Amino acid sequence: MAPSKIKNEEEFPPQELHLLRDIIPPTAPEPFYENYREGVPIALDIGTSSFKVGLTSANTPNNVFDSVIARYRDRKALKTLTIVGNDVYRDYSLKSSTKTPFDGALVTNWDYLELMLDYSLEHLGVTSNNGKLNNPIIMTEPVGCPLSQRRGMYELLFEAYQAPKVAFGIDSLFSYYANSSGTSNGLVIGTGHESTHIIPVLNGRGVLSQTKRIDWGGDQSQHFLGKLLALKYPYFPSKLNYHHTTNLFRDFCYVSEDYQQELNHYLDMDVLETKDIVVQAPVDITVSTEKKKTEEELALQAQKRREQGKRLQEQAQQKRLEKLVQKREEFEYYSKFKEEFPNLKPEEISRRLESDGFDDIEDFNKYLTSLEKSLKNAAHDQGAEEEVAVDPSSAWPLVDIPDDQLTDEQVKEKRKQKLHKANYEARERTKELKREEEEKQAKYEAEQAEWRERDFDDWSTSKRLQLAELISKYKERAKLLESFKDRKSAAAQQRMKNIADLANDETGSTSAASRKRRRNATSTIDNDPNDTFGADDDDWSVYRDITNVSIEEQQVETNNQILSLEDELLKYDPNFHHEDTFAASQTFDWKNSVLHKFIHGPRQNITIAMQAEGIDPEEIANHPEIIKKNHQIHLNIERIRVPEILFRPHIAGLDQAGISEVSQDILTKHFDGIFSSGGQSHSIIQDIFITGGLANLPNFTSRVVNEFTAFLPIGAPLRVRKAQNPITDAWRGMQKWAQNEQDSQSSYITKQDYEEYGPEYIKEHGLGNVCIR
């Protein structure tokens, strides 16, 4: 088995590794705008993901930076530092204090926002002689901007900066404006950081009343991906941060053109080979400094240990011998002394005993007998026990002679002989049994051989049938054992009932009680009022009797039977191969394992392979390849699973309609639904426009084409396109709009308007929200 696995492994080239990307600190500081002029409108696209800011006299935003701010207390300087945007990433210590002024899509911390605007305007080179901001402001705001948001923004712009006039608009509509004539019809799909909007456009003006928002965007996507990966690799050694997951999402996720189809075949080996992405987290593989001992060294060590053991043994032996000699001398001395007893006076005896440290004569006798015993034992140990062939007829002459004909001495001897004889007989019996067993085996073999000779097919089929029966029995018992683990399973419940019954019977329940129990058949084991199990502590001993050990033993036995049957078949049946054995069917083939391919991609997990080769687990854990492998992430199904949420929000538990369903609803129900020439819907579907960060996902447009084609009538003139630059086109639209005075001039709100009409007021200009007054 093992060699073939290794050979398979060699067929695959190693997979391409992608490095896990964190944020790259900006090398250059945020640029300052050189050509500031008073009166030129300033466009501020303040997205929840990034700020795009610039004077509209330029063609591109001067500053594009992440919407983050870090406040950091420098204790030495006794000063709180405020770092904004990309500058935050220039110092590692700011990482933990990085915050955003937004909560979801809305501004919640106006202090932060104000600081960020200060930072933006400083970088645009804004200066003033009158303490006021002397440039009109064009700014983005959320679709259906809540009053509190606009009020906050008005207060900032008119009261803090004292801006002369302000216009608000919607980022995706500005993006569409940048990419169209300004008077066309279309449908804008604006994918944002926090939400996705679908806005129909007629004559260049957004139809806000038919707009829908799906509460899913780039931030939710990266967060979802992070959670998926945390669950997929629960023991991943390094933590993935926001930038890691965002980069993974940006680099490797794509919209599936046909989700169902692609999903069904994603884990097929050939498909997975092309689609599985391996991401390597940075890992420091330090080869352990403690050099591995060579085999020779190990052998030398073992040798040393053996020698030491031997020496110790010898020493102990020596000590024992010395003690023995001492004991023997003592024994001889004391026995001689004992023999002298009759010749000595009692006073003399006790005096000598006392001088030798004995209490009295009894103590002395005791000591002497113990000495004798230990000497005898030692002699017994030394004389090796050799199996001597005995003649049963003459070896034990005393056994058959009655006791009364013997002397005391002989009775003792007879008892010994009896014991020996019994031992001898028992040995003979087991020998006999063994011989019989062997004979039986030989006979069975002969029978089998004869059977094979006579009708091989019959032999083979019957053996195979037997094998199948055993295997099914084995499996059934395995299932039973498994179900016992679950306390609620039917088998376990039945077993508990049996146990309770048994316990009841053992405690001697009267027939009346059991009848009563039977009458209460509806009562279950949990609420039987007559159940007194446990009242007596001995009841619990029933558990000791009814363990599952017997089943396990049976299992082992069945397994042995299976093995012997398979041995026979392997030996004699040429059509029965190793692959057909039960054990082979139980072995794991990773190529058929969905889970293995999902987690480890289209390569065998080398940990399993190494375990199969029987390598020491500690060595496996420290193997550099394994450490590297443990820092790898395989992206496969997630690559399409996460972007799919835009089309099926229910995947992420969002009870909202997806992009295509909302679009279908808008096109067929909220507009005229006429897809032939002249219809409103007809003109709208000729310009489906995708913008926002997620528009950069590969295949987004082709998927939208597929989805729309599915509900549009055949031949409808569908055209789907992506913004030129989905991220900065909103700013470009603002710039274009500002320069087109015809469009923009009448749309600004002056400070006077604000003071007169209040924060609810805005002027409707087709690219912004409607005024709710």
Partner 1 sequence: MAGGSRNHNGKDTTPVDQTNTDLHFISDITTKPHSFKQNPNRKPPPRRYKPVKQLISDEVKFLQTKNLAVDTPTYVSIVSPPSLRPSKNYCDITGLEGPYKNPANMLRFHNVEIYQEVIKNMPSGVDQEYLELRGANVILK
* Residue 166, phi then psi, degrees to nearest 5: -135, 145
- Other CB atoms within 10 A of residue 748 CB: 21
Task: In angstroms, give the least distance from the CB of 650 to partner 1.
Answer: 5
Q: Which of 49, 191, 211, 744 binds partner 1 (CB under 8 A)?
A: 211
263 binds partner 1 (CB under 8 A): yes
Total residues in contact with partner 1, by rule CB under 8 A: 95
126 binds partner 1 (CB under 8 A): yes
Q: Which of 3, 14, 131, 357 binds partner 1 (CB under 8 A)?
A: 131
Stated as kind and residue range, the H or E segment containing 706 is: helix 700-711
DSSP 286: P
Task: In angstroms, give the least distance from the CB of 105 to partner 1.
Answer: 8
Structure tokens at 697: 């996902």
DSSP 542: H
Which residues fall within 8 angstroms of residue 179, CB to CB, at 6 or more apart?
A: 689, 691, 721, 723, 724, 729, 733
- Other CB atoms within 10 A of residue 105 CB: 20
Q: Which of 134, 417, 493, 750 binds partner 1 (CB under 8 A)?
A: 134
Q: Which of 37, 132, 351, 479 binds partner 1 (CB under 8 A)?
A: 132
Structure tokens at 66: 């992440």
767 binds partner 1 (CB under 8 A): no
Structure tokens at 209: 């009343």
Q: Which of 34, 290, 347, 408 binds partner 1 (CB under 8 A)?
A: 34
Q: Which residue, 224 or 364, has its beta carbon nearer to partner 1?
A: 224
Confirm if 114 and 156 have CB atoms less than 8 A apart. yes
* Residue 674, phi then psi, degrees to nearest 5: -95, 115
25 binds partner 1 (CB under 8 A): no
Site string for partner 1, 286-325 (x = CB under 8 A): ----------------------------------------
- The DSSP annotation for 167-197 comes to EEE-HHHHHHHHTS-SS--EEEEEE-SS-EE
Question: Beta 277-280 vs 17-19: how paired, if at all?
Answer: parallel
Look up residue 541 and give its amino acid.
S
22 binds partner 1 (CB under 8 A): no
Q: Which of 12, 32, 341, 444 binds partner 1 (CB under 8 A)?
A: 32
Structure tokens at 464: 């195979």
Instruction: From 175-183, 550-558, 655-663, 674-682, give the range in contact with partner 1 by CB under 8 A.
Output: 655-663
Closest CA to 46 of 142, 147, 122: 142
Task: In angstroms, give the least distance from the CB of 695 to partner 1.
Answer: 18
Whole-angstrom Cα distance, residue 636 to residue 226? 14
Closest CA to 646 of 655, 637, 659: 659
User: For the sheet containing 63-66, what is the strand order?
Assistant: 63-66, 50-55, 42-46, 137-140, 165-169, 749-750
Instruction: From 257-265, 348-356, 450-458, 466-474, give the range in contact with partner 1 by CB under 8 A.
Output: 257-265
656 binds partner 1 (CB under 8 A): yes
How far lies 200's CA from each of 185, 384, 403, 510, 665, in Å? 8, 105, 121, 85, 12
How far lies 114's CA from each of 30, 84, 110, 117, in Å? 18, 11, 6, 5
Q: Which residue, 198 or 542, has its beta carbon nearer to partner 1?
A: 198
Task: In angstroms, give the least distance from the CB of 122 to partner 1.
Answer: 5
127 binds partner 1 (CB under 8 A): yes
Which residues fall within 8 angstroms of residue 45, CB to CB, at 6 or more apart?
A: 51, 52, 53, 61, 139, 140, 171, 174, 730, 731, 734
Q: Which residue, 688 or 727, has its beta carbon nearer to partner 1?
A: 688
Q: Which residue, 42 or 738, has its beta carbon nearer to partner 1?
A: 42
Q: Which residue, 12 or 32, has its beta carbon nearer to partner 1?
A: 32
772 binds partner 1 (CB under 8 A): yes
Looking at residues 463 to 522 of the shown chain, list those that interact with partner 1 (rule: CB under 8 A).
none
Give the chain's length. Answer: 773
Whole-angstrom Cα distance, residue 343 to residue 336? 12
Whole-angstrom Cα distance, residue 559 to residue 178? 76
- Residue recorded with tokens 């395995």: 478
Q: Which of 63, 246, 504, 769 binds partner 1 (CB under 8 A)?
A: 769
First to last CA, the chain: 79
Q: Which of 5, 22, 57, 155 binds partner 1 (CB under 8 A)?
A: 155
Q: How many alpha carbons fall within 13 Å on the CB side of residue 637?
A: 18
594 binds partner 1 (CB under 8 A): yes
283 binds partner 1 (CB under 8 A): no
255 binds partner 1 (CB under 8 A): no
137 binds partner 1 (CB under 8 A): no
142 binds partner 1 (CB under 8 A): yes
Q: Which of 91, 381, 432, 445 binds partner 1 (CB under 8 A)?
A: 91
Task: In angstroms, give the least distance from the CB of 106 to partner 1.
Answer: 5
Task: In angstroms, give the least distance from the CB of 76 to partner 1.
Answer: 8
Task: In angstroms, give the least distance from the CB of 296 to partner 1.
Answer: 43
97 binds partner 1 (CB under 8 A): no
DSSP 254: -
353 binds partner 1 (CB under 8 A): no
29 binds partner 1 (CB under 8 A): yes
* Residue 645, phi then psi, degrees to nearest 5: -60, -30
Site string for partner 1, 615-654 (x = CB under 8 A): ----------------------xx--x------xxxxxxx
121 binds partner 1 (CB under 8 A): yes
Task: In angstroms, give the least distance from the CB of 283 to partner 1.
Answer: 25
Q: Which residue, 132 or 323, has its beta carbon nearer to partner 1?
A: 132
655 binds partner 1 (CB under 8 A): yes
Task: In angstroms, give the least distance from the CB of 586 to partner 1.
Answer: 13
Task: In angstroms, give the least distance from the CB of 382 to partner 1.
Answer: 59
DSSP 62: S
What is the chain's Cα-based Rg? 46
Whole-angstrom Cα distance, residue 189 to residue 199? 7
* Residue 235, phi then psi, degrees to nearest 5: -105, 25
Stated as kind and residue range, the H or E segment containing 282 is: none
266 binds partner 1 (CB under 8 A): yes
Q: Is 756 helix (H, G, I), strand (E, B) or coil?
A: helix
Looking at residues 212 to 241 of the shown chain, list those that interact with partner 1 (rule: CB under 8 A).
212-215, 224, 227-228, 231, 234
Looking at residues 574 to 593 of the shown chain, list those that interact with partner 1 (rule: CB under 8 A).
593
269 binds partner 1 (CB under 8 A): no
Q: Which residue, 643 or 693, has its beta carbon nearer to partner 1?
A: 643
Closest CA to 24 of 62, 74, 66, 63: 66
710 binds partner 1 (CB under 8 A): no
83 binds partner 1 (CB under 8 A): yes
90 binds partner 1 (CB under 8 A): yes
Q: Which of 46, 137, 208, 685 binds partner 1 (CB under 8 A)?
A: 208
36 binds partner 1 (CB under 8 A): yes
Helices 171-178 and 729-739: crossing angle in degrees, nearest 10, is 70
Q: Which of 20, 40, 43, 145 binds partner 1 (CB under 8 A)?
A: 145
How far lies 29's CA from each of 45, 479, 731, in Å? 21, 67, 22
Instruction: From 136-144, 294-302, 619-627, 716-724, give the range in contact with partner 1 by CB under 8 A.
Output: 136-144
